[in-house]
Chain A
């Protein structure tokens, strides 16, 4: 006699679909830097930000540094950054 049993795996929540925008040029745009502050990337990130600002001369710079590399940035901060900037650069060291 066969045995029947239920599947324990949960359905996956669908991510909200955003509107993709394409930037033709970065110069004069508003940039956001999202950095997780991992020690392995501190020197790199500092140089990276300077390089972006020098090469692309953004009109505005916003920074969102996570309190620690393993902590999720608060959603409200991400949403605020999205409204303040044209593009964001996300940096992860580990």
Chain B
């Protein structure tokens, strides 16, 4: 198999790992040097032309060929069957509405959150129980890591220059979560977004780090649970009200069950949260953001800005809220996580079907 990437060498594995650091092929965590055998094994699994161009990754405008994505995936610890997920995530991030150039370079602390739903979640062994957004599973960790290495090595997403994220967050290293079909009381995320139940789908949104939201025990009134979830969005400092940003809400199973048992569909929940996630004009006037009131994305266009008691919605539409269910059940109370997006600037939610090679499962 002829590959075009330059070949480097080192005396042994230790030296190779250090070589990767010296070449700035990693953002701080160690990587596995991409030797020929796993790269060729992965390419054989994919059955695609190694030089097929998936896209151009900003801000460096690096060309993401299948070969380069595979190399970075191997460095991240991916098994061959993980790589279609990585490719789908790259394709999703390259949709214009995601504004990947902005996501990679903004001063905001947002990183692409990769959500996987569908049959592949079980087949690849994603962690959908305790620690679903964190540690404990090779699939979550390696796929999230591969996406980051693609953004780093192909896209040139280096902090400082050109990437200006003020703090970043731990999800910049790896940020991938899977929906728990078993615990989810509603239609799967990908079905809600127009895909077939048997499809496996990647959904990306650029978000801040997850913020924990305690929603109380499973018999707490659903109206109170919704109020708490909405309050976690209507935070004065976040970007969401600027122009209609997206929010990813990761519900713990206890919280989701509580809401479903109240008779609400997922769309009902989204509508209720969108209706409740608001602040008064009086509060909003304390926000000093980088828009003049005349700017079309400014919140003052959403309400009577002269009435201090009028309410300003943080979500322009229930569809700006992405809800999935995953994680551990909890004990004294359910816990969810809210991941606010980047406002109206980009990082908007995009879904892509994962293309599994023919004859593979």
Complex Cα spacing A40 to B36, Å: 51
B residues in contact with A68, CB < 8 Å: 242-243, 291, 295, 297, 344-345
Q: Among the listed A6, A12, A37, A39, which residue makes an inter-chain contact with B61, where contact means beta carbons less than 8 Å apart? A: A12
Task: Evaluate contact between A70 and B345: CB separation under 8 angstroms.
Answer: yes
**In the complex, how many angstroms separate the beta carbon of A61 from the nearest chain B beta carbon?**
20
Complex Cα spacing A7 to B56, Å: 17
Task: Evaluate contact between A10 and B7: CB separation under 8 angstroms.
Answer: no
**In the complex, how many angstroms separate the beta carbon of A60 from the nearest chain B beta carbon?**
25
Closest to B289 in A: A39
B interface footprint on A1-34 (CB within 8 Å = 1, 0 otherwise): 1111111111111010000000000000000000
Q: Among the listed A12, A40, A71, which residue makes an inter-chain contact with B346, where contact means beta carbons less than 8 Å apart? A: A71
The answer to the question of A72 belonging to the interface, with a C-beta cut-off of 8 Å to chain B, is yes
Q: Among the listed A5, A15, A69, which residue makes an inter-chain contact with B16, where contact means beta carbons less than 8 Å apart? A: A5
Given the interface pairs A10-B68, A70-B345, A72-B99, the reply to whether A4 lies near B292 with Cβ below 8 Å is no
Task: Evaluate contact between A70 and B16: CB separation under 8 angstroms.
Answer: no
Task: Evaluate contact between A6 and B10: CB separation under 8 angstroms.
Answer: no
Q: Among the listed A5, A8, A39, A42, which residue makes an inter-chain contact with B35, where contact means beta carbons less than 8 Å apart? A: A5
| Number of A-B residue pairs with CB-CB distance less than 8 Å in the complex they form | 113
A interface footprint on B337-348 (CB within 8 Å = 1, 0 otherwise): 000001011100
Task: Evaluate contact between B6 and A42: CB separation under 8 angstroms.
Answer: no
Q: Size band of the B side of the interface?
A: 35 or more
Task: Evaluate contact between A6 and B7: CB separation under 8 angstroms.
Answer: yes
A residues in contact with B292, CB < 8 Å: 39, 42
Complex Cα spacing A67 to B344, Å: 9
Task: Evaluate contact between B61 and A2: CB separation under 8 angstroms.
Answer: no
A residues in contact with B60, CB < 8 Å: 10, 12
The answer to the question of B154 belonging to the interface, with a C-beta cut-off of 8 Å to chain A, is yes
Complex Cα spacing A38 to B292, Å: 8
Q: Size band of the A side of the interface?
A: 20 to 34
Complex Cα spacing A69 to B75, Å: 35
Task: Evaluate contact between B346 and A8: CB separation under 8 angstroms.
Answer: no
Complex Cα spacing A8 to B150, Å: 8
Task: Evaluate contact between A9 and B9: CB separation under 8 angstroms.
Answer: no
Q: Among the listed B36, B102, B291, which residue makes an inter-chain contact with A71, where contact means beta carbons less than 8 Å apart? A: B102
Task: Evaluate contact between A3 and B12: CB separation under 8 angstroms.
Answer: yes
Complex Cα spacing A26 to B99, Å: 34
Given the interface pairs A10-B63, A10-B65, the reply to whether A4 lies near B297 with Cβ below 8 Å is no
Task: Evaluate contact between A10 and B62: CB separation under 8 angstroms.
Answer: yes
Task: Evaluate contact between B346 and A9: CB separation under 8 angstroms.
Answer: no
Complex Cα spacing A2 to B342, Å: 46
**In the complex, how many angstroms separate the beta carbon of B35 from the nearest chain A beta carbon?**
5
The answer to the question of B196 belonging to the interface, with a C-beta cut-off of 8 Å to chain A, is no
Task: Evaluate contact between B33 and A3: CB separation under 8 angstroms.
Answer: yes
Given the interface pairs A4-B9, A39-B290, A72-B101, the reply to whether A9 lies near B35 with Cβ below 8 Å is no
Q: Closest 4 interchain pairs by CB?
A: A10-B62, A10-B154, A5-B33, A70-B345
Besides the known contacts A2-B12, A5-B9, A5-B16, 7 further A-B residue pairs in the complex with CB atoms under 8 A apart: A5-B33, A7-B6, A8-B5, A8-B72, A12-B63, A70-B102, A70-B346
Binding site for B on A (CB under 8 A): 1-13, 15, 37-40, 42, 67-72
